[in-house]
Amino acid sequence: MKKKIYPTEVLEVEVMGLDSQGMGVVEYWHPPLKEGCPRKKLKLTIPQALPGDVVRVTVPNAKGRRRVTVSYDEIVKASKDRIGFPPTDVPIAGGIPLLYMSYAAQLDYKERLIQSFLEEKGFDSGKVRPVLGMDDPYHYRNKMELTFGKEGAIGMHQAGNFRCVIDLKDSPLAPQEVITVKETVSEWQKDHQLPSYDKESNTGLLRHLMVRKSHGTGEIMVAIFATEEAKVYLEETRQLVDQLQEKLSGLASVVWLKNTDIADRTQSQESEVLFGRDYIHDQLHGYQYRLWFDTFFQPNPLQAEKMVDLVLEMGQIEKNMRVLDLFCGVGTFSLPLADRCQELAGIEIVPTSIESAKRNALENGLENTYFISRDARKGMAELEETWGHPDLLLLDPPRSGAGGKVMRRIGRLGCQKVIYVSCNPKTLADDLVWLREFGYELQVVQPVDQFPHTLHVESVVLMSRAD
């Protein structure tokens, strides 16, 4: 028996909130079909709609659905927090759903988001300070990864359509140097008729373009990910290097990275330096770091400086202290901490990051560090036996959080203070519950807006033992 298909309806609704993808959320109650019948609820998710927007939407089979994602036909009344409207003649790139929300409203939204997750777990949301925003929340990223698409497009994937690549003309996130590189590479690709990679047919040459710009030194890295080796295109790559040198005074590295894996990621089986070195230097909080194409480094250096300041402030580091940096990466927090304490140990599961951390410490004249590549939980157990007991523990886990096993191990370690640097308020709240069971109390949560115009927000959190 076929389900009944109901008529298409045009609805005028007010957006009440945002979902985890940044789409506007509406709960609409249909009038009863007849007296005495229950009302049906329809949940709408609406791309590019902000809380407070009143929009008109067309919904096929409206009464036959419980939920639907639908674009709005018209904004009848704009939200008080709206500062602009998305273009109607070009597709919208994903990743920046808050672009047309005022920056003050973005910060308020992120603060309330963190408060709500903490409240759900029984924590005092009054411990959350106002979000530290940026004076200029544009063009802040020091690294951009672009995709080679069809018909010469190089840019970001369309929101909700991973197969479509939107040609990058300008960007609210990227510095001008990224646009210059993209335009130079685009012209070079057209001049030499080099095909973009097509994932569906697994054919083509050019896959991704990555650009890194050092905030501290001004050095620029350009990385081309392709399905063949550079030696097949010696003349073409020589001309590309010449063109990039003409346009970029800070060019320090051009690398060609072969990637034949079907996965759509910026990874490499082989690499070749076309110009300069295979890394660039960057500086953060007065310390110098080497960055390769696959090095994870804080993408917003101005806000990362604030985060380092917060860690040092909350830690109240003294020269006789021993500090453990968990998920230490290449030493973003390790180096400033080591410069102020007696001894620092860092644990990171990625071997290349640990090698970078060791090198960065030595190049900055720090000889009181000890870095090991281990799983976090096993690394802590090993260090407790061979290195000793830390006075302060810092952890900066991935978005998935540290997890119960790691947090319980931290609790048993019994440091007086734990500083948690989080990029996900949900997993932050989940992890803090475990520390609470070991007698830790929430002291302060300082959100930092590392990623304006996105849904992401960082937090620096201090927990200390009640005793």
pLDDT above 60: residue 89: no
Residue 288, annotated as binding a ligand: no
Residue 91 one-letter amino acid: P
Q: pTM (2 decimals)? A: 0.92
Are residues 316 and 462 in contact, defined by beta-carbon separation less than 8 angstroms?
Answer: no
Instruction: Tell me the per-residue pLDDT of 409-422, one tens digit each, with 9 for 90 and over.
Output: 999 999 999 999 99
pLDDT tens figures, 320-346: 999 999 999 999 999 999 999 999 999
Query: Which structure tokens are listed for 227?
Result: 């399905």
Task: Say if residue 396 carries a ligand binding annotation.
Answer: yes
Tens digits of per-residue pLDDT, 166-209?
Answer: 899 889 999 999 999 999 999 999 999 999 999 888 899 999 99
Instruction: Show the domains of the chain with their CATH numbers.
Output: 8-77 (2.40.50.140), 106-135+298-465 (3.40.50.150), 143-284 (2.40.50.1070)
| Residue 188 burial by Cβ neighbours in a 10 Å radius (0-12, 13-18, 19+) | buried
CA distance 23 to 14: 13
Directed axis angle between helix 176-192 and helix 234-247, to 10°? 150
Reply yes or no on whether 37 is catalytic: no
* Residue matched to tokens 């790139």: 93
Buried b (16+ CB within 10 A) or exposed e, 305-320: ebbbebbbebbebeee
Q: How far apart are CA 111 and CA 294, in angstroms?
A: 31
Q: Is 297 marked within a binding site?
A: no
Q: 28-80: per-residue pLDDT in tens? A: 999 887 777 788 899 999 999 999 999 999 999 989 899 999 999 999 999 99
Q: Answer yes or no: is pLDDT of 358 > 90.
A: yes
pLDDT tens profile 246-296: 999 999 999 999 998 876 777 667 889 999 999 999 999 999 999 999 998
219 in a known ligand binding site: no
Mean pLDDT of the chain: 94
